Amino acid sequence: MAKGDYNFIDINTGDEILFSRTGIEDFQMYWKVIGFHEEMIHVEIDEMGNKDKLYIDTNRT
């Protein structure tokens, strides 16, 4: 596991995580974990003019 990588079981509701999305510029902001659905992590961000909620599919490579 590379530095900064997480296992799904290591992440809890309320944690703040960094991740990258293909095709999206990395803002280096922490996303707050607000829940889980199957093997997806539900996150939100609301800072520096950015407001978004989305699911991260942990099965995607």
In percent, the amount of the chain with pLDDT more than 90 equals 26
Average pLDDT of the chain? 80
Query: Domain segments of the chain: what residues?
Result: 8-57
Q: Is the pLDDT of residue 2 over 60?
A: no
Cα–Cα distance measured from residue 5 to residue 3, given in angstroms and rounded to the nearest whole number: 6
Token pair for 43:
């996150």
Q: Which amino acid is at 30?
A: Y
Q: Which amino acid is at 19?
A: F
Q: Are 34 and 53 in contact (CB under 8 A)?
A: yes
Q: Are 11 and 33 in contact (CB under 8 A)?
A: yes
pLDDT tens per residue, range 11-34:
899 999 887 666 666 567 788 999
Q: What are phi and psi of 48, to 5 degrees?
A: 50, 40
pTM, two decimal places: 0.71
Radius of gyration over every alpha carbon of the chain, rounded to an integer in angstroms? 11
